[in-house]
């Protein structure tokens, strides 16, 4: 276990996918519903336990549909299951027999969990026994009505609710179906009906519905906190679930809740000790929080976990760059390129060129850009000149930058043409070509109209995400220009990470100022 987690014993979590059971009564296809009923009932009873995380059937079907159908087992593994539960059943003369098996660590041992039988009406009790064989902390049945479970398994959700008004999953299914149709009236009706049942509906189903509802309101960075809070509530109810925990940590990072994101990435790494990406994301959360020692340690741990991969070198390079260690950043970016020249379309060389720009080595930056253009030409990379233009502009080669950029102004690809037009507007100081709110903010800055520039850039900075650090740095420039040096230093302490694959770069608005501001 890595040192950053060594103080806490890792929790062994079963990521369980309960697949539909097979009907052995081939002559009775009308009994196929039982296979899904067993799957949904057993999975539902595992929700919220400390040691089992349920891979939902919805998640499995999304992957299955994406790949055009196929064995659900493969889709479950792709989603992250490390336990596959399935089995078979038969119903003869009113007697139901069920056998459940579990495959551990896909491709590993298969064990028989349960084999039993009882009257047809004993379905819920049989499912409960299977669930407790998987996890002794399994919850009570998700419904007390076998008839409601049958309707739910058949996709008759409204009927299932009529039979058991406190049966949560049908409400969730109806709400999500309404959202998929963009039928907000139906969603609101389903959500209101579920809320009217209060605590009669299981906590996990209430949390899922609240998360869906939050998603309908989180339409901007300012309202994204609604969805984050709903995710946090769901994570508290399902402590072993790494899927929603990862979603929560990512969402917190996007709205700049760096400390909370870091805490959740640490927890995620504990749940998934063999995965390296949570540790990588932890490094970025700590980096954006300004915790250099913690970020450096996390990136080093990521390097070890990821076996010195090109991506791990890129991450450590980003950390060095953000904290103004540009020589070290160049070493790591070039290390990433040496390991995988195709990583991020070969732009590790562009990032390395940025480290030269930050050290005022424009000749070195140009040398690396020339190397990048030559390498990408051999790969027939049509967008490489576009990515190189910004570095050439910052290096003082305005004509060469324009020559690289101009062909894209007539690109037949609308997105490329639009990006080129905006980049050209920045190069030529024509903010009127930029759309609001950025265009007016850029114009106010270039015109030194600080009465407009200060509030415009403050708003942009407040709404920016962690990858938009350049916005904060431009705001720092505006603050410095208006004599607010202490506040400016808080924003300008860190350097925006190079992002060669973004559509448009606005670095001309901060880069020259930073070089001057950091003069001893």
Q: What's the pLDDT tens digit per position in 169-218? A: 999 999 999 999 999 999 999 999 999 999 999 999 999 999 999 999 87
Low-confidence winner among 2-16, 62-76, 406-420 (lowest mean pLDDT): 2-16
Domain containing 17 — which CATH number?
3.40.50
Is the pLDDT at 9 greater than 60? The verdict is: no
221 domain residue, yes or no: no
Cis status of the peptide bond prior to 437, with omega within 30 of 0: yes
Structure tokens that stand for 240 in this block: 């072993």
| Residue at which a domain ends, from 108, 142, 176 | 142
Asked whether residue 400 is domain-assigned, the answer is yes
In Å, what is the CA distance from 396 to each residue of 232, 241, 357? 48, 52, 10
Overall average pLDDT of the 350-355 stretch: 98
pLDDT at 19: 95
Q: What pLDDT score does 1 carry?
A: 29
Q: Which domain-ending residue is among 142, 159, 181?
A: 142
Does any domain span residue 138?
A: yes
Residue 236 lies in a domain: no
**Domain boundary residue, one of 89, 122, 142:** 142
Query: Quick one: pLDDT band at residue 10, thresholds 50, 70, 90?
Result: low
High-pLDDT (> 70) share of the chain, %:
95
Residues above pLDDT 90, as percent of the chain: 86
Residue 482 belongs to domain spanning: 308-517
Residue that is written with structure tokens 């790949």 in the block: 67
Exposure of 152 by Cβ count < 10 A (0-12 exposed, 13-18 middle, 19+ buried)? buried
| Model pLDDT, residue 7 | 38
DSSP string, 77-100: HHHT-SEEEEEEEEEETTEEEEEE
Strands 110-119 and 95-104, by their bridges, are antiparallel
Whether residue 389 has pLDDT greater than 80: yes
Q: CA 520 → CA 329, 331, 361, 477, 517, distances in Å?
A: 22, 25, 17, 17, 8
Whether the Cβ atoms of residue 519 and residue 482 lie closer than 8 Å to each other: no
Give the relative orientation of helices 277-288 and 292-305 as an angle to the nearest 10 degrees: 160
Calculate helix-pair angle for 242-254, 277-288, nearest 10 degrees: 30
Q: What are phi and psi of 159, to 5 degrees?
A: -65, -40
Query: What DSSP letter does each residue of 504-519 carry, written as one string?
Result: ---GGGTHHHHHHHT-
Instruction: Count up the domains in the chain and report the number.
Output: 2
In a domain? residue 418: yes
Rounded to whole angstroms, how far apart are CA atoms 439 and 455? 14
Q: Give me the count of residues in the chain.
A: 520
What is the mean pLDDT of the segment spanning 351-360?
A: 98
Is the pTM higher than 0.85?
A: yes
Q: Which of 134, 139, 142 is nearest to 14 (CA)?
A: 134
Local structure of residue 218 (DSSP, 8 states): -
CATH code for position 338: 1.25.40
Domain membership of residue 227 (yes or no) is no
Report pLDDT for 25: 80
């Amino acid at each position: 276990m890595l040192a950053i987690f060594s103080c806490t014993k890792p929790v062994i979590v079963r990521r369980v996918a309960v697949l539909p059971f097979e009907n052995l009564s081939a002559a009775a296809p009308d009994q196929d519903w039982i296979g899904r009923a067993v799957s949904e009932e057993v999975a539902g009873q595992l929700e919220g336990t400390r040691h089992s995380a349920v891979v939902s059937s919805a998640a499995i079907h999304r992957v299955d549909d994406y790949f055009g159908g196929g064995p659900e087992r493969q889709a479950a593994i792709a989603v992250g299951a490390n336990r596959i539960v399935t089995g078979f059943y038969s119903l003869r003369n009113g007697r139901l027999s069920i056998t459940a098996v579990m495959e551990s660590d896909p491709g590993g041992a298969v064990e028989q969990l349960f084999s039993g039988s009882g009257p047809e009406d004993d379905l819920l009790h049989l499912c409960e026994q299977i669930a407790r064989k998987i996890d002794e902390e399994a919850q009570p049945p998700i419904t007390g009505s076998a008839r409601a479970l049958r309707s739910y398994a058949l996709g008759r959700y409204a009927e299932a609710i009529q039979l058991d008004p406190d049966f949560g999953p049908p409400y969730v299914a109806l709400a999500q179906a309404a959202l998929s149709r963009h039928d907000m009236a139906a969603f609101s009706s389903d959500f209101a009906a579920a809320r009217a049942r209060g605590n009669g509906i299981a906590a996990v189903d209430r949390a899922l519905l609240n998360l869906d509802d939050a998603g309908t309101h989180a339409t901007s960075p300012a309202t994204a906190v609604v969805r984050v809070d709903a995710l946090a509530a769901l994570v508290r109810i399902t402590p072993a679930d790494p899927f929603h925990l990862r979603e929560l940590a990512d969402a917190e990072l996007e709205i700049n809740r760096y400390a909370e994101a870091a805490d959740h990435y640490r927890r995620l790494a504990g749940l998934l000790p063999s995965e390296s990406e949570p540790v990588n994301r932890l490094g970025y959360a700590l980096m954006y929080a300004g915790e250099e020692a913690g970020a450096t340690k996390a990136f080093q741990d990521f390097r070890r976990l990821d076996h010195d991969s090109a991506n791990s070198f890129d991450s450590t390079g980003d950390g060095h760059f953000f904290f103004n260690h540009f020589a070290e950043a160049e070493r790591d970016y070039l290390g990433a390129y040496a390991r995988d020249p195709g990583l991020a379309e070969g732009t590790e060389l562009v990032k390395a060129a940025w480290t030269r720009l930050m050290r005022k080595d424009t000749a070195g930056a140009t040398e690396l850009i020339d190397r990048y253009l030559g390498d990408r030409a051999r790969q027939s990379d049509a967008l490489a000149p576009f990515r190189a233009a910004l570095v050439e502009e910052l290096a003082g080669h305005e004509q060469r930058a324009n020559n690289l950029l101009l062909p894209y102004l007539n690109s037949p690809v609308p997105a490329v043409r639009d990006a080129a037009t905006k980049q050209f507007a920045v190069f030529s100081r024509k903010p009127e070509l930029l759309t609001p709110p950025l265009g007016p903010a850029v114009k106010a800055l270039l015109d030194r109209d600080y009465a407009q520039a200060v509030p415009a850039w403050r708003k942009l900075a407040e709404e920016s995400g962690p990858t938009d650090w350049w916005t904060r740095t431009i705001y720092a420039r505006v603050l410095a220009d208006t004599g607010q040096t202490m506040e400016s230093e808080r924003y300008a302490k860190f350097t925006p990470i190079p992002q060669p694959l973004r559509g448009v770069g606005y670095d001309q608005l901060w880069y020259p100022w930073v070089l001057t501001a950091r003069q001893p």
